[in-house]
Chain A
């Protein structure tokens, strides 16, 4: 199985800050990567697919990049409603695998 490793595991930042979360695959997965946001007590929500394509309705402050083994999710200006756990997911092979998550809080 391809392992997905996120860093950091938790992150505290101020409103307005630029925030970056990293995801690394244990082997190359081309651009077969998605990012999800899960707010406390809520259902996961798709933010990004194909490594950098923004899902419809997702605010433009979210962006992502990467290919191969290294990927990043960036929030350009952190908002209070962005408090959530963020998960990357590779889907290059079966089984699709998730990173362990990054918990984002407001400082």
Chain B
């Protein structure tokens, strides 16, 4: 069974940092691109970042460029998102999602349960 389990969310002050993790199982992690997608409370979905299976192709939405860093550890079957200089508008549930694409993000066939990030003073 394919599983993705996020962790690392919580309450942080504006300007602070958090590191999200996504532990995966049930599939060969190294063969898939993976993504972070977020959803502010009561709102729609927003793609945040993608990393290809090789790790050589990385993309970010404009609003997080220079502040967020995506990475992966194939030995640990895990995806990460380092979030710095956090803003109130980054408040959301953050999902990791498996991608059916190649070098750039496509569609997402499996999602984790999400981890809530709240940025507030």
Q: Do A and B interact?
A: yes
B-contacting residues of A (Cβ < 8 Å)?
32, 34, 36, 43-46, 49, 55, 87, 89, 91, 94-101
Q: Are B109 and A44 in contact (CB under 8 A)?
A: no
Q: Are B104 and A49 in contact (CB under 8 A)?
A: no
Interface string of B91-111 (1 = CB under 8 A from A): 000010000110011111101
Q: Are A89 and B61 in contact (CB under 8 A)?
A: no
Which of A44, A46, A91 lies in contact with B45, CB distance below 8 A? A44
Q: Are A94 and B104 in contact (CB under 8 A)?
A: yes
Interface string of B63-92 (1 = CB under 8 A from A): 000000000000000000000000000000
Specify the main secondary structure of chain A where it touches its partner: loop
Which of B44, B106, B114 lies in contact with A96, CB distance below 8 A? B106
Number of contacts between A and B (CB, 8 Å)?
Answer: 55
Q: Are B59 and A95 in contact (CB under 8 A)?
A: yes
Q: How far is the CA of A89 from the CA of B109 in the complex (A)?
A: 12
Q: Are B101 and A91 in contact (CB under 8 A)?
A: yes
Q: Are A94 and B107 in contact (CB under 8 A)?
A: no
Q: Are B106 and A91 in contact (CB under 8 A)?
A: yes
Which of B61, B107, B114 lies in contact with A95, CB distance below 8 A? B61
Name which of B95, B101, B109 has the most chain A CB atoms within 10 A of its CB. Answer: B109
Q: Which residue of A lies closest to B107 (CB)?
A: A34
Please indicate the chain A residues that have their CB under 8 angstroms from the CB of B45 in the complex. Answer: 36, 44, 87, 89, 98, 101
Q: How far is the CA of A94 from the CA of B108 in the complex (A)?
A: 14
Please indicate the chain B residues that have their CB under 8 angstroms from the CB of A49 in the complex. Answer: 100, 106-107, 109
Chain A's nearest CB lies how many Å from the CB of B95? Answer: 7
Q: Are B107 and A44 in contact (CB under 8 A)?
A: no
Q: Are A96 and B95 in contact (CB under 8 A)?
A: no
User: With an 8 A cutoff between CB atoms, is B47 at the interface?
Assistant: yes
User: With an 8 A cutoff between CB atoms, is B113 at the interface?
Assistant: yes
Q: Are B95 and A43 in contact (CB under 8 A)?
A: yes
Which of B62, B95, B100, B104 lies in contact with A44, CB distance below 8 A? B95
Q: Are A43 and B113 in contact (CB under 8 A)?
A: yes
**Given the known A-B contacts A43-B113, A44-B95, A46-B107, are A96 and B100 also in contact in the complex, defined by CB atoms under 8 Å?**
no
